Amino acid sequence: MAAKAREQLGFDPDAIEEKYRIEKDKRMRKDGDRQYQAIEGAFEHLKLDAFAGKSFTRAPIITNVGAVIVGGGYGGILCAVRLVQKGFTDFVIVEKGGDIGGTWYWNQYPGARCDVESYIYMPLLEELGFMPSEKYARGSEIKKHFAVIAEKYGLKDKTIFQTEVTEMVWDNKGGRWDVSTDRNDHIKSKYTITAAGILHVPKLPGIPGITAFKGHAFHTTRWDYDYTGGREGEVLSGLKDKRVAIIGTGATSIQVVPCVAQYAKHLYTFQRTPAAVNVRDNRPTDPNFASSLKPGWQQHRMDNFNAILAGLPVEEDLVNDGWTANNSFALLGSGDEEMNIEEKMRLADMQKMQRVRARVDEIVKDKSTAEALKPWYGSICKRPCFHDEYLDAFNRPNCTLVDTNGKGLERITEKGVVANGKEYEVDLIIYSTGFVSPANAWNHTGMSTKGRDGQLLSGLWKQNGVVSLFGSQTRGFPNYFNVGVLQAGVSGNFVYTLDVHSKQIAYVIVECEKRGVKSIEPEPQAQQAWVEGIVEGSKAMRSYFINCTPSYFNNEGHLSDDSSSSAIYAGGATAWAKLLEDWRAQGDMKGLELTNGSSISAKL
Ligand code: NDP
């Protein structure tokens, strides 16, 4: 490395790399992803819907429709919108919750906000004439946004609430899916779309004694306002005489901690790995900004964000926040001309993380707490976090960080939590311990998808790794579409991925209807080529993530060769979107096998 560039860095990259390795090794566990406890059996009550009426009953629904969409989050809702926009309205949405909203229905914890700019995160803003009131909208405003979408596109009447799909079976002879639910519904449908979410199955730490606790406990994704009092943004009055433990310090916890710290008698935050917490700088939407926007602005802004995150040159950084600012390896200054691109990226990443660590020192007064809150890993090893009150919460006298030096909790007792050999007595335990990894989530939906000849999708993927064309269709599962991240293009803005899927799925379905197609699925060669491309493209990402501290991003540090098929599209979200757009423009459905037959009477 050029000596001048090294001097300008102000840190020793080899020493930092060694520190990363030491910190990672502390956290590596042989049991990897198996360390977690599924929320089932004795824990089932932690999964109950705290927001919906519990006495809801209805007669089973027996019907025949054009399409069933599983899931009423942004993924399912966007599929519905794109279908309606193309004139296809013969569908139902089946939703587990008591309302639409998906992750925003379940995750109603205090402090919940989108962690990506709302002007690019909240879809359809131009179509709806909806402008978020803040740069990073509250969960409650995002729920309102869902309601506006549902109203405009008539989706509420098409949604079957508080219902879980249990099984979908392809009937080859009839050319229909038989969809069954936990309320004994039987829906025949020509197409099925699974948009069940990627981080939706909560998990608990698999530690001894977790059933022994005699106090109150819940997971952040089922916040118990009856216990804590208040709602989002309101006073959590129920906590004023309570000692509270929050377990976990991920992207959810950093939003929850400042709220709970404000109201609890005492808060203990149990940390295994510190989050990397960057500047948020939230602010109300400037009316001048809103009125200056030209048609097409939202797509342009989304693409601009993705391009910056993919390291592509842009004329202007439109979002200009912690995600995008300094996301360039031009950071290093002069003297770096002799470095190759990988080296520049490695050093720029370290430089970015040095700033995150310096920010901790600037905010947190107690030196040992500040040291413990410093993250020692690459900037995308975990979801980057942004918050302006999280670190400051640890300056409060009623807020204690219990750092476990990478080891995690020891056990739970009747009275509280044991870490570093010490028992902390508490009244409430809040598990902010995340969700089953997206790489495995398809296997945890509680729904079995059986394609031709009764073949199970989960069985096929378990045996062969994930197989798909474009990340959405799989051979052997005619007229079936999956909305997710595996083998798809992804950026920090996940809703972008969902909308690309939706446009593609709506196009394929409507084309099939126009052409009188009976069934459609990927051709074997096209599917194989897509999977090979994903596996090949995963190599560069793999070499980054293999050195990362364990998380759901890298299968808890155990990246095996078979995990490469559950990678994302290496070209990035915008390149994937462009590839699909070009594919649609060709109009020949290349790579898909079409079986002709009579068309259903879809209302086109
Ligand atoms: P995470 O998986 O990111 O965090 C789980 C936390 O629990 C980690 O800090 C983990 O520690 C800790 N943990 C697990 N087991 C133990 C143990 N035995 N002892 C101590 N600590 C333990 O889940 P989150 O819910 O925070 O976030 C999940 C995802 O949700 C994010 O990555 C993001 O994509 C999304 N999200 C999006 C938001 C938005 O605004 N759009 C907001 C919040 C979340 P360790 O790190 O050591 O594993």
Q: Cα separation of 464 and 475, whole Å?
A: 13
DSSP 598: P
Tens-digit pLDDT profile for residues 107-164:
999 999 999 999 999 999 999 999 999 999 999 999 999 999 999 999 999 999 999 9
272 C-alpha to ligand 1 centroid (Å): 10
251 C-alpha to ligand 1 centroid (Å): 6
For residue 116, give the ligand 1 atom closest to its CA: 41
| Mean pLDDT, range 261-287, rounded to an integer | 98
| Mean pLDDT, range 516-524, rounded to an integer | 97
250 C-alpha to ligand 1 centroid (Å): 4
220 C-alpha to ligand 1 centroid (Å): 10
Please give the pLDDT value at position 601.
38
For ligand 1, atom 46, the nearest C-alpha belongs to 273
Same fold, 62-200+439-595 and 203-280+345-431: yes
Which of 380, 383, 405 best tests ligand 1's pocket when mutated (most atoms within 8 Å of CB)?
383
Neighbours of 63 (CB within 10 A): 13
For residue 253, give the ligand 1 atom closest to its CA: 26
Which of 142, 220, 252 best tests ligand 1's pocket when mutated (most atoms within 8 Å of CB)?
252
Please give the pLDDT value at position 503.
98
Please give the pLDDT value at position 598.
45
Tens-digit pLDDT profile for residues 224-268:
999 999 976 679 999 999 999 999 999 999 999 999 999 999 999
For residue 145, which amino acid is it? H
254 C-alpha to ligand 1 centroid (Å): 9
For ligand 1, atom 32, the nearest C-alpha belongs to 383
Q: Model pTM greater than 0.85?
A: yes
For residue 433, give the ligand 1 atom closest to its CA: 7
Helix/strand/coil (H/E/C) assignment for every residue in 11-24: CCHHHHHHHHHHHH
373 C-alpha to ligand 1 centroid (Å): 15
For ligand 1, atom 31, the nearest C-alpha belongs to 251
Architecture of domain 203-280+345-431: 3-Layer(bba) Sandwich (3.50)
pLDDT at 329 > cutoff 50: no
* Nearest partner of 273 among 559, 13, 29, judged by Cα: 29
Architecture of domain 62-200+439-595: 3-Layer(bba) Sandwich (3.50)
Please give the pLDDT value at position 330.
45
Q: Cα separation of 146 and 140, whole Å?
A: 10
248 C-alpha to ligand 1 centroid (Å): 6
Q: Which single residue is written with the structure tokens 């060769």?
A: 561
For residue 540, which amino acid is it? A
| Residues with a CB atom less than 6 Å from ligand 1 | 27, 113-115, 199, 205, 207, 247-253, 255, 270, 272-273, 383, 408-409, 432-435, 551-552
- Average pLDDT over the chain, rounded to whole? 92
| Mean pLDDT, range 544-567, rounded to an integer | 86
Please give the pLDDT value at position 599.
40
- Residue 432 in contact with residue 192, Cβ under 8 Å? no
For residue 525, which amino acid is it? Q
Q: How far is CA 210 from the centre of its chain?
A: 26
Q: 199: which 2 tokens?
A: 């981080």
For ligand 1, atom 15, the nearest C-alpha belongs to 205
SS3 472: coil
Please give the pLDDT value at position 328.
54
Tens-digit pLDDT profile for residues 33-91:
899 988 888 888 888 888 887 789 999 999 999 999 999 999 999 999 999 999 999 99
The domain segmentation of the chain, as residue ranges, is: 62-200+439-595, 203-280+345-431
For residue 121, give the ligand 1 atom closest to its CA: 41
Please give the pLDDT value at position 314.
92
| Mean pLDDT, range 577-600, rounded to an integer | 88
Please give the pLDDT value at position 551.
93
SS3 118: helix
For ligand 1, atom 34, the nearest C-alpha belongs to 383
37 C-alpha to ligand 1 centroid (Å): 14
328 C-alpha to ligand 1 centroid (Å): 26
294 C-alpha to ligand 1 centroid (Å): 38
For ligand 1, atom 14, the nearest C-alpha belongs to 433
Please give the pLDDT value at position 437.
80
For residue 206, give the ligand 1 atom closest to its CA: 18
Tens-digit pLDDT profile for residues 297-311:
999 999 999 999 888
